[in-house]
Amino acid sequence: MEMPEIVRFAPSPTGEIHIGNARTALYNWFLALQTGGRFILRFDDTDVERSREAYAEAIAADLDWLGIVPARVERQSARLARYDAIAEDLRTRGLLYACYETPDELERKRARQRARGLPPVYDRAALALTEAERAAFEAEGRRPHWRFKLPEGARSWDDRCRGPQIVNLGTVSDPVLVRADGSYLYTLPSVVDDLDFGVTTVVRGEDHITNTGVQIALFEALGGEAPAFGHHNLLTRQDGEPLSKRDNPLSVTRLRAEGYEPMAVASLAVLVGTSHPVEPVADMANLAGKAPLSAVSKGPAMFDPADLKRLNAALLHDMPYEAAADWLDARFGLADRMFWETVRGNLALRGDAAEWFDIWQNAPRLTDASGAPILAREDAAVIAAADALLPPDPWGEETFKAWTGAIRAETGAKGKALFMPLRKALTGREQGPEMAAFILLLGRERIIHRLASAKVALGVG
Ligand code: GLU
């Protein structure tokens, strides 16, 4: 057994999470699941202006829907005193230094560096300020922001998705850890929390690779050991653009409301952009087994929303009655194995079962949406023969074949001319489940009534 992994998923509650964030959450969840470890849900909510409790609640509900059960939920907004103490310690040690440049001044510096062909790295001018210069800025009303003094050299790690990685800290600006208003940017709280909560592996998107080099240096400065890291590729849209929090059609909350299966969303979120084919996996333990971090590709993970529909339908088509029974009971007040097994092959979303439940329970209208009759004059002979030749009970798997064989012998109709009138008369639709199964679901009594209605509609009753 591997060491139990302590992982965390750390969204900012500033919007709904999308399927790409679900990918991050699930990869973390699998590590916890497979090693008997723990999954921490950590809300990175130090940005009080943009963070919303409603988003935190929606994210928790989304994870629950995906089958992820956090062992612990934490909020950074509740830990500010801890961050203050750490920041104070870094200040005392000269590792967190006050800077007074305005955004405009910083932009001008960067423009000058670029013009000279230099990388736009912060020049540490603030480190050279005298007490008097600092006092003068303060007297002007300027409040300092605080930068972490990065050490020399490079930091490297063996990435669990990407193999050996290296970040040269000389090419990175000393990161601002504390804003002028005293609020924290993401870096310091994240590192402090990862240490305090004993996180063993950080799995997140590859957009954080440079941050990781910086964070390793901060872990060291705090006297801690950096966790392991795995940076997975990011889901992109078909045009190669990354998903953003504003990709509402792909928000997990939205997909949930639209009635997608959680395992369809999870299968796509996890398998796209890996060495595995994108296929539906019905259970979480299986999906976890298919998605080791080492299977993640190096290139982007192109996401096709049409795949979600395909996976969803495929999951439903194979979904055993036992997996659907509770939902059927809650939705229709009736869980019926034969109903489920007859209609599941025709569902794109499970909610589509409502249409077939209605067609099963209630005689269908024999007119189309515009009110035109769906049965035609030439269907009359088949319908009349069907009524006359309806087999006696008991019915079984061979009944439909025997019945239609008898109708064919009587009328000479075959193929579509034989089957379509029956389908239309019994279901009010031109497409749907296998009729051999559907007639067993309907039973003899309902069929007698429906054929009688069809005869009346055709004027042969
Ligand atoms: N709140 C950060 C984000 O959403 C967390 C990144 C991380 O996992 O460290 O990007």
For position 2, what pLDDT does the model report? Answer: 78
- Residue the block writes with tokens 């063993």: 200
Cβ of 204 below 6 Å from ligand 1 = yes
Closest CA to 424 of 378, 390, 357: 378
10 lines ligand 1 (CB under 6 A): yes
CA 96 to centroid of ligand 1, rounded, Å:
22
Query: Tokens representing 324?
Result: 């659907």
Residue 44: CB within 6 Å of ligand 1? yes
Amino acid at 103: P
Measured in angstroms, how far is the CA atom of residue 10 from the centroid of ligand 1? Answer: 5
> How many Cα neighbours within 13 Å face the side chain of 153?
5
pLDDT at residue number 245: 64
Residue 332 neighbours by CB under 8 Å, 6+ apart: 353, 354, 357
Taking the domain 377-458, which CATH number applies? 1.10.10.350
Q: What is the pLDDT of residues 397-438, one digit of tens each?
A: 999 999 999 999 999 999 999 999 999 999 999 999 999 999
Cα 184 to middle of ligand 1, angstroms? 14
Q: Is the CB–ligand 1 distance for residue 206 below 6 Å?
A: no
* pLDDT score of 303: 84
Say what the pLDDT of residue 1 is.
Answer: 58
Q: Report, as ranges of residue numbers, the positions in the chain whose pLDDT lies below 50.
A: none
Question: Which ligand 1 atom lies nearest to the CA of residue 24?
Answer: 8
Task: Verify whether ligand 1 is closer than 6 Å to residue 186 (CB atom).
Answer: yes
pLDDT digits (tens, 9 = 90+) for 101-118: 999 999 999 999 999 999
Show me where the domains of the chain are located.
1-74+184-318, 319-361, 377-458
Give residue 181's pLDDT: 94
What ligand 1 atom has the least distance to the C-alpha of 211?
A: 9
Contact 157, 226 (CB under 8 A): yes
Domain 1-74+184-318, CATH: 3.40.50.620
Q: Kindly state if the Cβ of 8 falls inside 6 Å of ligand 1.
A: no
- Produce one character per residue of 201-239: b if its CB has 16 or more CB atoms within 10 Å, e if not: bbbbbbebbebbbbbbbbbebbeeebbbbbbbbbbbbee
Are 237 and 305 within 8 A, CB to CB? no
Probe target for ligand 1 pocket from 14, 186, 187, 232, with the most ligand atoms within 8 Å of CB: 186
What is the side-by-side strand order in the sheet with 145-148? 96-99, 145-148, 176-178
Cβ proximity of 144 and 90 under 8 Å = no
Please indicate whether residue 230, judged by its CB atom, sits closer than 6 Å to ligand 1: no
Query: Per DSSP, which regions of 5-49 are E strands?
Result: 6-9, 38-43
Handedness of CA 398, 399, 400, 401 (dihedral sign): positive
pLDDT of residue 246: 67
